[in-house]
Amino acid sequence: MKTIIRNAHIVNEGCMQIADLLMVCDRIEKIAPFISLPQPQKYMEINAEGKCLFPGVIDSHVHFREPGLTHKGDLSSESKAAVAGGVTSFMDMPNTYPNTLTQNLLEEKYSLAQQKSLANYSFFMGVNKTNLEEALKTDPETVCGITDDGLYFNDQEGILASHPEFLEHLFNRTQTLVALHSENDGIIRANYLKYYEQYGEDIPVNLHPLIRSEEACLSATQNLINLAKRHQNRLHILHISTQAEAELFDALHPPREKRITGEVCGHHLWFSDKDYDHLGNKIKWNPAIKNENDKNGLLTALLESRIDSVASDHAPHAAKEKTGSYKKALPGGPMVQHTLYLMMELYHKGLLTLEKIAEKMSHNVADIYRIRERGYIREGYHADLVLIDLYRPWQVTPNNLFYKCGWSPLSGERFTSTIMQTFVNGNLVFDRGKIANSAKGKRLLFEKIG
């Protein structure tokens, strides 16, 4: 299969150039101002005049819910939502059911994805206090990393940020990337009890950022950074939600050379505590959406390269699981289809350049995780690409969601740009609003450490 994209504004590695791009099989064969073809009829030709071609988004934080929680989402449905949102590769978290705590369970997820996923994939190995030896068997060249993300739901003691003695053991024995959810659950519990005494189970949801407070985030992140520095470990802190935490990170090295990197999620750059009044539990996330200062401070930290990457933390729940009292409504929401759109809107508001979007959602993610031959538009690299019409407005409605759960906290939102086409390994998988192809994605591979 051969495809040529003509006259695209190619957004890549800090600049934009108008060029043709030729894909042959799964690779980018050539990029040049004009590519002449000996037998043009043998190629699919796309006129991309006036449109922007980005490297496919690599979303390093999703919960696609398979196996075990497929009433919320599955690898087929959520990977469709991913490619509709310009995401060509994803990394999935271990709080599926059963939790991904053995190498066998981990490999089972890879087999499922091979059969079902339209996007490229990697799966994190889960780690908790019971499976250290098993987690240490993880192969860093075929698995993106080790994490505790989401595992605290099943075990009060699960969040590793509150167990420095365990982390000492883990950090002592691995150079593999460890990605951690960073909140202090002791502080959260005390805050919760204080408001529970006042309100019972019907705590107003706008108190969520005071329960899962700045202090809870800051103290955990401070401790994790100190610990990783002592051990010279490869630590990636997930979904940073406060300005105070962002200030703990430095911009002294490019992401590839940093030992400690940080991620921010689209929703923490988009919503603030003002939105609880009209969206309620729909924007209940862990860590919580904080205030305007935090939202602005996170964007500043991203632009100053203290925070390195943007992810979705796509975590769908059935609509009914998001209703009821504050205590009952589950944290998390579906975001993978719209996180690139949120960043594009920040571009239209003059807050972010197109080049920065490619850097934070593709290049840096490839560098942080040392992904092989993806994340950049380069000859010889895999052809993972997204073609965007900057000025083609549309509105989020239940009809244009690909999520199995069928709802979005962004319903009704109007976006200025439209994702026209998404290519995964040279296959046109998403084309003007529809899934175009059932070709499956590939397993991500990683460079050797050191």
CB of 147 to Zn ion, least distance (A): 9
Of 260-268, 310-318, 351-359, 441-449: span binding Zn ion (CB under 5 A): 310-318
Which residues, in sequence order, are bridge partners of residue 8?
A: 19
CB of 296 to Zn ion, least distance (A): 23
Interaction of residue 78 with Zn ion, rule CB under 5 A: no
Termini Cα distance of the chain: 37
CB of 361 to Zn ion, least distance (A): 17
Of 119-127, 136-144, 219-227, 308-316: span binding Zn ion (CB under 5 A): 308-316
The residues in 313-332 that bind Zn ion, with binding defined as CB under 5 A, are 313
Of 74-82, 142-150, 197-205, 206-214: span binding Zn ion (CB under 5 A): 142-150
143 vs 151, which CB is nearer to Zn ion? 151
* CA angle, residues 75, 3, 434, in degrees to nearest 5: 40
43 vs 153, which CB is nearer to Zn ion? 153
**Pattern 368-407, Zn ion, x by CB under 5 A:** ----------------------------------------
CB of 62 to Zn ion, least distance (A): 8
Of 75-83, 144-152, 209-217, 386-394: span binding Zn ion (CB under 5 A): 144-152
CB of 13 to Zn ion, least distance (A): 29
Interaction of residue 149 with Zn ion, rule CB under 5 A: yes
Interaction of residue 183 with Zn ion, rule CB under 5 A: no
185 vs 313, which CB is nearer to Zn ion? 313
149 vs 359, which CB is nearer to Zn ion? 149
Binding-site size, Zn ion (CB under 5 A): 2
Residues in touch with Zn ion (CB under 5 A): 149, 313
